[in-house]
Amino acid sequence: MSALIRPKLTAFTLAIAAALTLSACGGPTADASGSTSKERFNTSPGQNRYSAPKVASIAAEVPAAIRSRGTLEIGNSKGSTAPLTFFATDNKTLTGVETDMAYAIASVFGLKAHYNPVSFEQVFVGPDSGKYNVGVSNITVTELRKQKYDMATYRKDARRSRPRRARRGASRAPRTWRAGPSPCPPRRTTASASRSGTRSTT
């Protein structure tokens, strides 16, 4: 399960969840011509962004400090992969599914989305410190993270594994995996994180 995360602030989290739902209704209309030609993807920096109209009742739940600033500060891992988040053909503009989603959420709030490409751990450190309002970077929902963050899910993960075949005649002993607490989430994840501009304790 992938989600937007932020430290516990219920009203703002509900606003994000509502904006996430409404933003799914926005964006360019699909081509219904039924053409069978090979589809091409626009990865240029100047492509049209998905958007949705501002919803006053949802925007009212945004903390005053964020509303007055006019931007939704988003932390996103610059090491993410297509089609979620990646650099456009100019090698500096972020684009992708998560990028479009964040722009659409910001538009429901009546804000402009401001992206901050950072290392993966900063997607969590930034919202914790109040530097970013939202973290969006393919973040998996876990019970431990739910204790600290409010998470608005937007897609379901499906993972599959297959053991490697042993050489003929060779015996393979079972591996023992050890896991311990880590301050940073695992690198292979799926979700997005959000936080208000004010610090909260959990």
Q: Stretch 7-32: mean pLDDT, rounded?
A: 56
Q: Stretch 83-95: mean pLDDT, rounded?
A: 88
2 in a domain, yes or no? Answer: yes
Q: What is the pLDDT of residue 154?
A: 80
The SS3 call for residue 127 is helix
> 2-6, 99-103, 165-169: which range is least confident on average?
2-6
Q: What is the pLDDT of residue 146?
A: 87
73 in a domain, yes or no? Answer: yes
Q: Are 13 and 133 in contact (CB under 8 A)?
A: no
168 in a domain, yes or no? Answer: no
110 in a domain, yes or no? Answer: yes
105 in a domain, yes or no? Answer: yes
Q: Count Cβ atoms below 10 Å from residue 201 Cβ, excluding itself.
A: 5
188's tokens: 């292979």
196 in a domain, yes or no? Answer: no
Q: What is the pLDDT of residue 19?
A: 64
Range of the domain at 121: 1-25+65-156
Over residues 116-165, the pLDDT tens digits come to: 999 989 989 999 999 999 888 888 888 998 888 888 888 777 766 777 76
Q: Stretch 73-79: mean pLDDT, rounded?
A: 85
Q: Nearest Cα to 5, choosing from 145, 139, 193? A: 193
Mean pLDDT taken over the chain: 74
Total domains in the chain come to 1
**Position with higher pLDDT, 11 vs 68:** 68
32 in a domain, yes or no? Answer: no
Cβ-defined contacts of 54-58 (< 8 Å, 24+):
54/107, 54/108, 54/109, 54/110, 55/18, 55/19, 55/22, 55/108, 56/110, 58/15, 58/18, 58/19, 58/22, 58/108, 58/109
Q: What is the pLDDT of residue 45?
A: 87
**Position with higher pLDDT, 105 vs 174:** 105
Q: What is the pLDDT of residue 42?
A: 82
| CATH classification at residue 105 | 3.40.190.10
125 in a domain, yes or no? Answer: yes
The SS3 call for residue 79 is coil
* Calpha distance 125→122 (Å, rounded): 5
